[in-house]
């Protein structure tokens, strides 16, 4: 019986890929093939891995695709999308090729090129843009809603993209200031046991916000902007009792807020302001028995006009590919440890039963 993915002849016998017709895709002469194929044909190899049923050959400025018609059509669409990305002025890399193919296979309504060429803010020759369809939907939601919740695992760009939108809004004079806040340590924000001044105690918990800010704003201008109050980075406790007008406000690590703190923060919203709340509900660091404000707020506010919940998944993680490989390896190791522990527990139970008999 032939493999389910292997093409067959009308008589049912397996058909060699060599007997299938070859489709040719001609690349416009103004496109340098190295931009499409990558250094040492790295991007071509990426396509070959993504389309194992195809034979892909490049001669001059032509792709020759041989294989099942559906895969040939998908590969041709991939090439078209990559050309559109190049035309949009963005250099291609392996990640862009893999994400384009993934979006096309998922049959999304939006073109991969529209996602990968959406520029949010540029700084020192670097442009920040969404890299997945869910990230684009998240960025679009920030544009169209006053309060947006970005919920998802680490590495999905929840806070980074929100900060890019904040910088964009400030540059476009849509807001007068940016306010970045986090709960410090835990919901109770008990910092007294830590050594040093209050700033020394708070700084480590706000450092990730400073790091992201330095990617988007000229580092030399940040002290001046902070001194003027144009950019404020502060722990969540500092928001109490304030009304924040004409501001872009980001609450990061919101899973570590209590329901009361979440309500306090959301009611700081003033006229002309926008809020983005980000967090990962699977990484709650609150004391045992404490409820996470991020977990309960969705039940409370779902359906309220002008509030949007964006959910990002592990497929939206955009950190270095080695980070993904490391996380996967640790996941496999944890599973193995769990199985070993379960076997040990099972053996212990059996021994105890034998003793009791």
231 CB neighbour count, 10 Å cutoff:
23
Q: How would you classify residue 142: left for phi > 0, otherwise alpha for psi between -120 and 50, otherwise beta? A: alpha
Q: Which tokens is 216 given?
A: 């988007």
- CA–CA separation, 104 vs 97, rounded Å? 11
φ and ψ of 105, to 5 deg: -65, -30
pLDDT in tens, 280-334: 998 888 887 789 999 999 999 999 999 999 999 888 888 777 776 787 788 789 8
Considering the entire predicted model, what is its pTM?
Answer: 0.76
* Residue with more model confidence, 18 or 102: 102
pLDDT surpassing 70 at residue 355: no
- CA–CA separation, 84 vs 113, rounded Å? 6
From 251, 243, 215, 217, select the one nearest 231 (Cα to Cα): 217
Q: Which tokens is 96 given?
A: 């862009």
326 CB neighbour count, 10 Å cutoff:
12
- CA–CA separation, 270 vs 201, rounded Å? 29
DSSP class of residue 164?
A: H
Please give the pLDDT value at position 356: 52
pLDDT in tens, 101-157: 999 998 888 899 988 888 898 876 678 889 899 999 999 999 999 999 999 988 899
Q: Which tokens is 286 given?
A: 């609150």
Mean pLDDT of 164-185: 91
Q: Coil, strand or helix: which one is 341?
A: helix
DSSP E strands, the chain: 22-26, 55-59, 62-66, 121-123, 126-128, 147-151, 177-182, 231-235, 247-251, 274-279, 307-311
85 CB neighbour count, 10 Å cutoff:
23
Q: Which of 76-85, 211-220, 261-270, 294-303 has the lowest mean pLDDT?
A: 211-220
Please give the pLDDT value at position 178: 96
Please give the pLDDT value at position 108: 81
- CA–CA separation, 290 vs 294, rounded Å? 12
Q: Order across the sheet with 22-26: list the strands.
A: 22-26, 62-66, 55-59
Write the DSSP string, 243-286.
-B-SEEEEE-SGGGS-HHHHHHHHTTB-TT-EEEEEE-TT---S
Q: Are 264 and 194 in contact (CB under 8 A)?
A: no
pLDDT in tens, 65-100: 999 999 999 999 999 999 999 988 888 989 889 989
pLDDT surpassing 50 at residue 198: no
CA 106 from centre of chain: 17
Please give the pLDDT value at position 348: 58
Q: Are 212 and 159 in contact (CB under 8 A)?
A: yes
Give the end-to-end CA distance of the chain in Å, rounded to a whole number.
54
What Cα–Cα distance (Å) separates residue 130 from each residue in 93, 169, 210, 226, 285?
A: 15, 16, 20, 27, 28
- CA–CA separation, 328 vs 33, rounded Å? 34
Please give the pLDDT value at position 345: 59
């Amino acid at each position: 019986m032939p493999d389910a993915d292997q093409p067959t002849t009308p008589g049912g016998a397996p058909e060699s890929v060599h007997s299938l017709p070859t489709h040719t895709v001609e690349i416009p002469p103004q496109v340098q093939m190295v931009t499409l194929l990558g250094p040492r044909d790295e991007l071509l190899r990426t396509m070959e891995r993504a389309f194992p049923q195809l034979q892909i050959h490049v001669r001059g400025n032509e792709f020759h695709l041989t294989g099942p018609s559906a895969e040939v059509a998908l590969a041709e669409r991939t090439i078209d999308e990559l050309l559109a990305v190049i035309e949009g002025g963005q250099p291609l890399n392996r990640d862009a090729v893999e994400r384009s193919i993934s979006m096309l296979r998922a049959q999304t309504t939006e073109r991969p090129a529209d996602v990968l060429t959406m520029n949010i803010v540029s700084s020192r020759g670097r442009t920040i843009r969404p890299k997945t369809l869910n990230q684009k939907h998240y960025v679009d939601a920030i544009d169209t809603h006053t309060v947006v919740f970005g919920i998802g695992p680490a590495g999905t760009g929840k806070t980074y993209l929100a900060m890019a939108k904040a910088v964009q809004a400030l540059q476009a004079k849509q807001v007068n200031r940016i306010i970045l806040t986090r709960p410090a340590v835990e919901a109770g924000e008990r910092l007294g046991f830590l050594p040093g001044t209050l700033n020394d105690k708070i700084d480590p918990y706000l450092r990730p916000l400073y790091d992201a800010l330095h990617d988007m704003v000229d580092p030399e201008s940040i002290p001046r902007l902070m001194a003027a109050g144009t950019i404020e980075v502060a722990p969540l406790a500092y928001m109490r009792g304030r009304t924040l007008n004409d501001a872009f406000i980001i609450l990061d690590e919101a899973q570590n807020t209590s329901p009361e703190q979440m309500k306090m923060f959301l009611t700081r919203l003033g006229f002309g302001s926008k809020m983005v709340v980000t967090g990962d509900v699977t990484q709650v660091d609150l004391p045992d028995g404490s409820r996470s404000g991020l977990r309960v707020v969705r039940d409370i506010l779902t359906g309220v006009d002008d509030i949007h919940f964006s959910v990002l998944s592990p497929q939206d993680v955009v950190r270095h590919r080695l980070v993904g490989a490391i996380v996967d390896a640790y996941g496999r190791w944890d599973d193995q440890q769990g199985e070993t522990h379960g076997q040990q527990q099972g053996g212990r139970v059996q021994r105890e039963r034998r003793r009791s008999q």
